[in-house]
Amino acid sequence: MSDTTVLGGRAVRESLRTPDALIPTIFIPLFFPVVNTGRVSEIFRSDTTAFLQGRGYAAFQLPTSLLPAASFGSSALFLVEEIEGGYFDKLRAAPISRVSIVFGRLWSEGVKSLVLTALMVAVALPFGVRIAGGVTGFAVLLVLIALWAVVFSGFMQLVALKSRSAAATQAGSMVFFPLLFITPNFVPRDQLSPLMEIASSFNPVTYLMEAAGSLVLDPSFQWAVLGKGFAVVAVAMAVMVALTVRAINDYE
Amino acid sequence: MYSLWTSIYDRGQDLSCSTATLEESDHHPDQKETLMTLAVEATALAKRYRGKGGEVDAVRGIDPAIPAGSVFGFLGPNGAGKSTTVRMLTTLMTITSGSARVAGVDVAADPDGVRRRIGVALREAGLDPRQTGRELLRLQCRLYGLSAAEAVARTEELLRLVELEDAADRNVKGYSGGMKRRLDLASALVHRPEVLFLDEPTTGLDPASRLTIWEEVRRINEQGTTVFLTTQYLEEADQLCDDVAIIDDGLIVRQGSPAALKDELGRRRGDGIAPTLDDVFLDATGRSRARVAGDVQEVRA
Ligand SMILES: Nc1ncnc2c1ncn2[C@@H]1O[C@H](COP(=O)(O)OP(=O)(O)OP(=O)(O)O)[C@@H](O)[C@H]1O
Ligand SMILES: [Mg+2]
């Protein structure tokens, strides 16, 4: 555990020293919601659109900013660079649990995501976006998004460990597009085209987005929706951890 | 005759670190009762890579025995299996068959025990470019179980040792090749290892930087650390090593002290010209000077 925190501290340092790696993490999450809101906020007016529950379309778009901001594989790119450069072997030769080499970065991704999510919610406040769930809702939202950030980074690090190639890892992070856009990010699921509705039902991120959305839009906690969101994260986390432990122990 | 073990043996006296022992042979009738400790010993150590392109037998059964306290040089042409051997001995790679003990600990059975006792600096000088030299050493200290306060003290000590105090707060990214090697060496020493593995520690360095590394290696060795190094430079092996082994195509083809190996070749040739370690290398790996030098035809009559 202490190895993980020591290596996590290093990973935080590394992120802070590479601010340019944050540019896509900020740009894409701002781009889509701003454009989406700009295009349709006159159509989806809060007084005439039932799914907005009396709130603005910008609030509905908040999860569409938060999830992509938590879905970047920058930690995996650092990892693959470390593998290619040889520092990874140096760490593997140290008397530490090898899993901590990978989990240190995940820890830092979680922390980074907490900070980033809080900042993005703060940025949304002047646009009239409020978290309907209040302070508790905000806290739950932070945890949900941060856990997702850890899961997503974990899978990207797995690609890095298996491929040992920066190009493959970069390509792997592109799964983020289908994952985040085959979702009810534009309108709720029941208003999607039938094909899209089916496709999005198979996408785990759909349940995350709905859980995040309910925290933003609905002052009463929708336990069923939240439960599905957290269940998806928990299962994905378990799969990711199991695969990572195996990958790092078999690595040579 | 120069004994393989003499110099090593003398130094081995004050070493208590390793547990493997070997009955001393009749080279030293006066010291027959003394036991000699081995820092590295392997039996039929082999590595087979299995890849898409088929199988490669990189190491095909070697039995190095390296006395504690010595500097051991592992020589061989490109692709001979030097790095593969180092990677097996340092727990970075599984052993296909055979066994190895490092600092008295079985590599396959207790890799963590081995990791605690060894220092490793590999050819790529693999260092984290985004940390400063000081941060990197402190982190390394923490990973080897030093407390935060101990890490600070040990880091300063090591920075002085490898003369990197002035650059300590710069990102490693901006270091020169020689500085990176020195930092890598320092990072392998944080926990005062019993055995230090260096894979081509001076490849690509200018002559002055190379000398600095040699001095460090000697100093480290004088403090009792066994050094296992691979090198492409035969002069380096001649200068630094008590013993060398020449590996070719996964098999050890010569082993002994540089002096003994040169002696042996000189006697075998019987031409009265003192051979160099280069000659021994070329002889052992079946490469003649004429072939190596090409048109120059640098053949000794
Ligand atoms: N990961 C790998 N997969 C397959 N074959 C490998 C792998 N690593 C090394 N080899 C092969 O094993 C043999 C020994 O390689 P090794 O790197 O141990 O040689 P070396 O003596 O260190 O060479 P050099 O002087 O070039 O560093 C070579 O034939 C090499 O092609
Ligand atoms: Mg090599």
Among A54-58, A82-86, A243-247, where is mean pLDDT lowest? A54-58
Per the CB < 8 A criterion, the answer to whether A142 and A135 are in contact is: no
Of all residues in chain B, the one with the smallest CA distance to A83 is B126
Domain count, chain A: 1
**How close B82 gets to chain A, by Cα (Å)?**
16
Q: What domain range includes position A107?
A: 3-250
pLDDT tens, residue order, chain B (301 aa): 333 333 333 433 343 444 444 444 444 444 433 456 999 999 999 999 998 888 999 999 999 999 999 999 999 999 999 999 999 999 999 999 999 999 999 999 999 999 999 999 997 778 988 899 999 999 999 999 999 999 999 999 999 999 999 999 999 999 998 899 999 999 999 999 999 999 999 988 889 889 989 999 999 999 999 999 999 899 999 999 999 999 999 999 999 999 999 999 999 988 888 899 998 999 898 876 654 444 444 444 3
| B232 Cα nearest atom in ligand 1 | 25
Write down the pLDDT at residue A174.
83
**How close B3 gets to chain A, by Cα (Å)?**
34
Q: What is the pLDDT of residues A92-109, one digit of tens each?
A: 999 999 999 999 999 999
- What is the pLDDT confidence band of residue A24, given thresholds at 50, 70 and 90? confident
- In Å, how far are A28, A142, B238 from A70, measured between CA atoms? 11, 11, 56
Among B87, B112, B184, beta carbon nearest to A95: B112
3-state secondary structure of B91: coil
Best substitution site from B45, B48, B49 to test ligand 1's pocket, by max atoms within 8 Å of Cβ?
B49
d(CA A110, CA A116): 10
Given phi > 0 = left and psi -120 to 50 = alpha, else beta, which region is A191? alpha
Sorted by sequence, the CB contacts under 8 Å of residue B294 that are 6+ apart come out as: none
Q: How many CB atoms lie within 10 A of CB A224?
A: 10
Cβ under 8 Å to A: B residues 83-102? 87, 90-94
Q: What is the pLDDT of residues A143-192, one digit of tens each?
A: 999 999 999 999 999 999 999 999 999 888 888 888 888 888 878 888 88
- Indicate the helix (H) or strand (E) that contains A219: none
Structure-block tokens of residue A187:
């309108």
Ligand closest in space to the Cα of B74: 1
Considering the domain delimited by B4-252, tell me its CATH architecture.
3-Layer(aba) Sandwich (3.40)
Write down the pLDDT at residue A243.
97
- pLDDT top residue among A200 and B159: B159
Write down the pLDDT at residue A190.
81
